[in-house]
Amino acid sequence: MKLTLGFSPCPNDTYIFDALVNNKIDTEGIEFDVQLEDVQTLNQWAIEGKLDITKLSYGVLPLALDKYIVLNCGSALGKGVGPILISNWELGIWNAENFTIAIPGKNTTAHLLFSLAYPNAKNKIFLRYDEIENFVLANKGLGVIIHENRFTYEQKGLKKIIDLGDYWEKETANPIPLGGIVIKRNVDINVQQQIDKLIKKSIEYAYTKYPELNDYIRTHSQEMSEAVMRKHIDLYVNNYSVNLGEEGKAAIIKLLDVYQTINPQESFSTNNIFVKSIF
């Protein structure tokens, strides 16, 4: 059996999936046609139902629930891992309505968390996550940064306005559900559970080699230093990645509730959104 699989070239994803897609573990007869793309592209593909298995932002999950169900393994959740709103100057008292805000994709968790904190912000533009620092440096407006930019913005003289992850945690008392792995609902349930198990094995294999950074991680993160690659992995790969558990699932359901509040015109069900766990 061959399944299409999409994830990002970020170190946390290549770390998680290296053993699975490079035959370092027994894949039990399943082959993978791998597509590495930025998260916004993967989000759009998820809405379209393009891939069998894909990484997506949990912010876009409501738009993909009719086609996909969430796997228990491979997610990025945690505390202190949220997007950060930045500026090129020190801000005192300010009004979000008076600024252009660059956000890393419309259908992203970053956009949802920003909307929760600043519901009145209207002048938003959507850029690739790696274009936002330069947008802010050019004094075009404020920006919401994610991924490795969390570790580099201060080196460029940029200023933190608010950690949107901290805001989420204080408002909801939940870990931040950033991104997860979903699989097509029409895939046999036994195969869904098999993929869950294989991703778990792939992560466990990666842990046995860490802090070594293999060529697969390096090749797709050439612009990062090794220190930033490790920070990326340390921040986004954790116990929720190995298994969401009840706490992780509750955080995702809470995010869906927030999405529904912000987008009351859209309807979806939070029933049957997770693959039945075998762990």
Parallel, antiparallel or unpaired: strands 142-145 and 101-103: parallel
In this structure, what token pair is assigned to residue 102? 């660059």
111 among known catalytic residues: no
The one catalytic residue among 111, 147, 220, 232: 147
Alpha-carbon distance of 2 to 203, in angstroms, equals 21
For 76, phi then psi, to 5°, come to -120, 100
The tally of CA atoms less than 13 A away on the side-chain side of residue 147 is 23
Helix or strand holding residue 162 (H, E) = strand 159-163
Calpha distance 262→256 (Å, rounded): 10
Closest CA to 61 of 241, 273, 247: 273
Strand partners, 142: 101
Residue 30 near residue 39, CB atoms below 8 Å: no
Three-state DSSP state, 80? coil
Cα dihedral 50, 222, 15, 135 sign: negative
Place of tokens 């620092």: 133
Phi, psi of 168 (to 5 degrees): -60, -45
Those residues whose C-beta lies under 8 Å from the C-beta of residue 90, and which sit 6 or more positions away, are 159
Question: Which letter, b or e, does each residue of 40-53 get, where b requires 16 or more Cβ atoms within 10 Å of its Cβ?
Answer: bbbbbbbbeeebbb
Which residues participate in catalysis according to the annotation?
Answer: 147
